[in-house]
Amino acid sequence: MSYWVYENWTAEDKAVVHRGDCGQCNDGHGCHKNIHGNKNGQWLGPYSALSLARAAADATRRAVRKDHRCTKWP
């Protein structure tokens, strides 16, 4: 299992932790086209553990840091 952080600085100043198999993450490709080079945000990762992804989210110093619900999946 891999974990990713989506860092967004337009809609909301935030960093959200996702699992690689989350539909919104899709192993860092995201659900949006053209995510790379996108000025809205960027994916950080992959990280091999949830704790590492959370640490990376903290390191962004975004105002909001949280886990997406996918991180609670069994």
Stretch that binds Zn ion, among 7-15, 38-46, 47-55, 62-70 (CB under 5 A): 62-70
Calculate ∠ Cα 17-9-18, nearest 5°. 10
Instruction: Indicate the residue among 39 and 73 with the shorter CB distance to Zn ion.
Output: 73
# of chain residues touching Zn ion (CB under 5 A) = 5
- Distance, in Å, from the CA atom of 63 to the CA atom of 24, rounded to the nearest integer, reads 21
Question: Minimal distance in Å, beta carbon 38 to Zn ion?
Answer: 17
Applying the rule CB under 5 A, the residues between 17 and 46 that interact with Zn ion are: 18, 22, 24
CA 20, CA 25: separation in Å to the nearest integer? 6
CA 47/CA 17 separation, integer angstroms: 10
Question: Does residue 14 belong to the site contacting Zn ion (CB under 5 A)?
Answer: no
